[in-house]
Amino acid sequence: MKTGTALTGTLFLSKLITQYAHIHQKTVGKTADEYIRQIGLRTGEWIERVYGGKDEEWTVDRYAEVIVDLKNSIGGHFYISEVHPDHVVVKAEGCPFGEAVQDAPHLCNMTSSVLGGIASRKFGYSKVVLRKRIAMGDPGCEIAVYFRETVGEDGDVYQDLSYTPDHGNPFEWEEETIRLLNEQLRQSDDLVMKLVGELEELREQVKHKG
């Protein structure tokens, strides 16, 4: 039986990941953003190892080339737009997740933390500004990564990031990270229960007044 869409492994995986991320955010709320941020930071560290050792110094040009290459290697359509001593701008005509990213736009936090984490470890500081996002309906993406503090644009700041110790696995989260995430989940649960209690009180008040 023929259909209008050719199902590929990449398309299926993109849809699967975005749907999982969508459900994850619905169930744990803003804590999902922190999980994605942590995954992005660790993935960025692993990517640095792919493109060279952690002690290797990068120029701004090298950084721009790497982030575009890594994005295109996983199915994106990125290109360098601007390179300045204090920031770079990259643009994209296609997302690695395809149009499926619109189902889970908070996955853009992954891009922010991967690019921001690499820049912070290489240059000491970074701010990532997601100016345009396919996930939010824009025809393309535009991302600025600053290497110095700036008040001109709001963005995600990354600084004082450390590397995983030698021979360590960047994807094995420290107990402290897991504890903090669990604490955030607990606080979310407490907030939900508080709201449920307040709604129950309102229901009782309305019932008595009626």
CA 210 to chain centre: 49
The full DSSP string for 19-67 is: HHHHHHHHHHTTHHHHHHHHHHHHHHHHHHHHHS-TT----HHHHHHHH
Question: Which pLDDT score is estimated for 104?
Answer: 72
Residue 117's pLDDT band, with cuts at 50, 70 and 90, is very high
User: What percentage of the chain carries pLDDT values higher than 90?
Assistant: 36
Around 84, how many Cα atoms within 13 Å sit in the side-chain half-sphere?
11
pLDDT tens for each residue of 63-81: 999 999 999 988 889 999 9
pLDDT tens for each residue of 11-61: 555 556 566 556 655 655 566 667 778 788 888 888 888 898 788 899 999
pTM > 0.85: no
Question: Which pLDDT score is estimated for 6?
Answer: 59
State which amino acid sits at residue 117. Answer: G
